[in-house]
Structure 1
Amino acid sequence: MERRTQQERRETTERALLTATAELVVESGLRSVTLADVGRRAGYSRGIVTHHFGSKQALVEALVAASQTGFVPDVAGREPGLDRLLDLVEGYLRAVTGAGVLSRAFLVLWAESVASAELGPVFRERDALFRADLAADVEAGRAAGEVRPDARPEVVAAIVLAELRGLALQYLVSPTSIDLAATGLVLRAQWDAGLRRS
């Protein structure tokens, strides 16, 4: 049996701590989560949580960063533009249906960020980056002549983000009430029709 490196052991521990934090967040929200609870849930001591993350705030920021990637379809390396935006819209909603505990925790934390001094800045920054990425797709589409020239990138980005997060939250609350695969296709078609230059 091959011995794991210190880096591999560290990554395994951090994954276990993030998963434990996500499970606790999904079960009862962030306010009730303590570092001791996280350590116990992951099978470690509270001290290991502090050793790896330093504070609850740093742990939560790491969880937000790790969990957001579960939703964003792999469009990295693709040229910005309308097709990339449409793939992202449809893929995001498809990813929600298979969302694991990290992704569910992301949505819970996002909802809690409205009234949280600790979470608010984290999500404002992440949402701003997501909107900027969406706006870049619209702008690139305009520059390529595939998107209507009157489409306002920042407005489109804000609406797309609101739709994606709102639909994901609806699914989280009641998974049987919404068919996200079908919804993703409809949303894709609507944005294609609304943005594509005739």
Structure 2
Amino acid sequence: MRALTLARVGERAGYSRGIVTHHFGSKQALLERLSRATQAGFVPGLEGLPAGLDRLLRLIDGYVGALGQVGVFNRAFLLLWAEAATASELAPTFRERDDAFRADLRDDVHAGIADGTIRPDLIPAEVAVAVVGQLRGIGLQRLLDPQAVDTEGLRHAVTEHWRRALSTPTRMV
């Protein structure tokens, strides 16, 4: 990202050197727009579902499934997310999005504990960090070596892992 210039982006896109500056104003604004656009709607179909175990498991299944279709946006997201670990201009945007992702997961765990579908001994913040870590890790592995990561097989395995790890004993039956 450090070598990225707005002039170079314009040239690579086949436009004038100044068009990107005209539309975005700064490299930081371009990167923020790109990172937000690549994160939108990664797992469709969750809107309106009540928080809890079922929503959490559907999110996990959908996320791993989406990794199987590493298109331009998914690939851009994963590359930018990995770059954010060392690029100060990207870190705030991705930190904000990861915070929101973990908050949604915490809400699902809290709701599942409240309705009795998730074990009450679990700490929602820890579950959220573990889920995000696993999902992002699978994504990075898929990005590095797509042939080595069977996302369709993993969808079931990962979702079932979390179902067993989170469910109350009566829910697992």
The secondary structure found in structure 2 opposite 1:98 is: coil
State the Cα distance separating 1:70 from its structure 2 match.
5.2
Aligned residues: 169
Give the alignment partner of residue 77 of structure 1, picking from 14, 27, 48. Answer: 48
Give the alignment partner of residue 113 of structure 1, picking from 79, 84, 104. Answer: 84
TM superposition score normalised by structure 2? 0.92
Give the alignment partner of residue 49 of structure 1, picking from 20, 37, 51. Answer: 20
CA displacement 1:71-127 (0-9 Å, x = unmatched):
333311111110110011011011111121122111111111111111111211111
State the Cα distance separating 1:47 from its structure 2 match.
2.1
More RCO (CA 8 Å, sep 6+): 2
d(CA) in 2 for partners of 1:129 and 1:63? 18
CA RMSD, 1 decimal: 1.3
The secondary structure found in structure 2 opposite 1:93 is: helix
Contact 1:70–1:102 (Cα < 8 Å) also in 2: no
| Equivalence for 1:101 | 72
State the Cα distance separating 1:56 from its structure 2 match.
0.6
In structure 1, give the amino acid aligned to 2:138.
L
| Equivalence for 1:63 | 34
Percent of residue pairs identical: 53
2:108 corresponds to 1:141: no
In structure 2, give the amino acid aligned to 1:175.
P
d(CA) in 1 for partners of 2:3 and 2:68? 27
The secondary structure found in structure 1 opposite 2:85 is: helix
CA displacement 1:157-187 (0-9 Å, x = unmatched):
0000000000000000000001011112111
Q: Mean Cα displacement is larger for which, 59-68 or 46-55?
A: 46-55
| Equivalence for 2:158 | 187
Q: Which runs of 5+ in 2 are unaligned?
A: none
| Equivalence for 2:57 | 86
In structure 2, give the amino acid aligned to 1:191.
W
More helix by share: 1
Give the alignment partner of residue 144 of structure 2, picking from 162, 169, 173. Answer: 173
Give the 4+ runs in structure 1 shifted more than 6 A: none
In structure 2, give the amino acid aligned to 1:41.
R
Contact 1:73–1:92 (Cα < 8 Å) also in 2: no
Q: Which runs of 5+ in 1 are unaligned?
A: 1-29
